[in-house]
Structure 1
Amino acid sequence: MPADGPSTPPPSPLGGDLITPRDLHAITEAQEKARLKEAQDLAKRKQEEQTAIHEAFMHQHIRPDAKERFTRAVRTAAERGETEIEIVRFPSSYCSDGGRAINNFEPDWPDSLTGFAREVYDNYDRYLRPAGYKLRAQILSYPGGMPGDVGVFLHW
């Protein structure tokens, strides 16, 4: 005898309700949303950290014990037979031109320095240049083919 209403599916040999493709798609979508949110949160935290580091660099000042630290550093380097020390390192993005003048060895590269790097340069120009020290800056890395970190070196 034919049934008048819609037929019900036979019971699953697995028992209970069977998970459907629709359920699986919803699970996958929820997982992808969670991974995307986690990646966005991580990117936001990294950006906040970079902003805080940049702000600290822009407002950092030479320490009161700089003369003693400087003397110790150059003496130790000289005792090892070295003729220069790296005095500051920072991302080229901290330069007003993104590191272009330093990368191109332009004579006015100090004009592109900002924040702590500018303070370091000004103190070099005021105290160390007259004593016979030399200063140079160079791009130290090229991530993705673009200028990365800048190193500023004092030599004698």
Structure 2
Amino acid sequence: MKAADVMTTNIVTVRPEASVRAVAETLLKHGISAVPVVDGEGRPLGVISEGDLMPRNEKAREARRDWWLQILSEGDAVHPDYLQFLKSDHRTAAQIMVSPVLTVDESVSLAEIADMLFENNIKRVPVLRDGRIVGIVSRADLLKTIAGPGHLRGRDPVHDDGSALPMASDKLEALSQKHKAAAPPPHDPAADEVSASAFQALRVEHEQHEEEQRREAKRIADEKHHRQASQMLASHLTDEAWEHMMHNARATAKKGEEEHLLLRFPAELCSDHGRAVNAPDPEWPSTLRGMAADIYLRWKAELRPHGFSLQARVVDFPDGIPGDIGLYLSWGKHDDVAH
């Protein structure tokens, strides 16, 4: 079976110029946890998940992290209270989306899609026809193939003996197991004990649970960073993406600002993992790779002659080392910029 046989065709998308608040409202309205960003012809430019709506300001993120982790738990739609917070966020979908986005052709087999979901630790993948998005295949869609032929769109459960179904791969079976709810633990009478030592044990248990959550969140974030760096390393800046960047930069200037974030990317995309940018070393442009290098070359050829500067800054330091790096287009005066 192919992607076209099981994909969801009722697609919800947003445009790159959509505000963060509009994206959040779209997720809430449709009860989904991620949405593709497409251009005017339906070509995918990126994808935005609930986690991408988190504030970029470090202090704001730290102050709200524990609460938002509960609100934005896996599989849940955006909480209405979060929309109130987003009122002050003036970023656009193009600025927060993860790009490039992994896609498949409608003729790709389900086993190949299962492999892609597992290898990249993602929940869904857009399906393309002639470069335009026509559907989405999610883990749930794949699980329906395991549940039986009666769940598949366009199949006749009466006359179909299931022989046309491909053998489910190990990864499809693993997907099924992953979605089965774990049985609740048996009741422990000691949990009802009323004593200082029992309460202290509960506190320790809570701290251990929080530490496990922090480690898991870090693991997921590290995997996402590595995956994003690999995608950006293999991708190149298109004319359309560049035009969107310039459109957003112009909008930023109209708001009275002197610089605009063109691209935020993992430090892994630099050949030295961001050390030259952090120093700062005037040779930092030579460490850029992939899409970041394309943006630098485009700026050098088209914007530098007109007085624009380009600045690279480390925007966060997880565990004390460079995490994400931002490329900022400037029409004001800044130090440590490429001229």
Length-normalised TM-score, structure 2: 0.31
Provide the rounded CA distance (Å) in 1 between the counterparts of 2:228 and 2:246: 27
- One-letter code of the match for 1:116? M
Q: Look up the match of 2:325.
A: 150
**From 267, 274, 285, the counterpart of 1:92:** 267
Of 75, 84, 89 in structure 1, the residue corresponding to residue 250 of structure 2 is: 75
CA 1:48–1:66 in 2, change beyond 3 Å: closer, same or farther?
A: closer
- Of 260, 281, 293, the match for 1:106: 281
SS for the counterpart of 1:154 is strand
Query: Where does structure 2 lack aligned partners over 5 or more consecutive residues?
Result: 1-215, 332-339
Identity score, percent: 36
From 109, 133, 136, give the equivalent of 2:308: 133
- 1:52 deviates by 4.0
* Cα distance in structure 1, aligned partners of 2:246 and 2:295: 15
Over residues 110-138 of structure 1, what are the superposed CA-to-partner deviations in whole Å (9 max), with x where a residue is unaligned?
01111110111111111111111000001
What RMSD in Å do the two structures reach over aligned CA positions?
2.4
Q: Deviations over 1:12-47 (max 9, x none)?
A: xxxxxxxxxxxxxxxxxxxxxxxxxxxxxx9xx957
**Quick check: which has more Rg, 1 or 2?**
1
Structure 1 residue 50: Cα displacement: 5.1
Judging changes above 3 Å, is the alpha-carbon distance between structure 1 residues 132 and 138 closer, same or farther for their aligned structure 2 residues?
same
Q: In the alignment, residue 247 of structure 2 is paired with which amino acid? A: R
Deviation (angstroms), 1:63 = 2.1
Indicate how the Cα distance of structure 1 residues 70 and 48 shifts in structure 2: closer, same or farther if over 3 A, else same.
closer
Q: How many residues were matched structurally?
A: 115
Larger RCO (alpha carbons 8 Å, 6+ apart)? 1
> How far has the Cα of 1:55 moved from its partner?
2.7
State the Cα distance separating 1:106 from its structure 2 match. 0.7
Please identify runs of 4+ aligned residues in structure 1 that moved more than 6 A: none
Change (3 A) 1:51 1:65: same
Q: TM-score, normalised by structure 1?
A: 0.65
Structure 1 portions without partners, runs of 5+: 1-41
- Seen in structure 2, the aligned counterparts of structure 1 residues 77 and 147 have a Cα distance that, compared at 3 Å, is same
Superposed CA offset, 1:123-154 (max 9, x none)? 11111111110000011111111111101100
Residues 65, 53 of structure 1: alpha-carbon distance in 2 compared, 3 angstrom cutoff: same
SS of equivalent to 1:61: coil
Change (3 A) 1:145 1:60: same
For residue 130 of structure 1, what is the amino acid of its counterpart? P
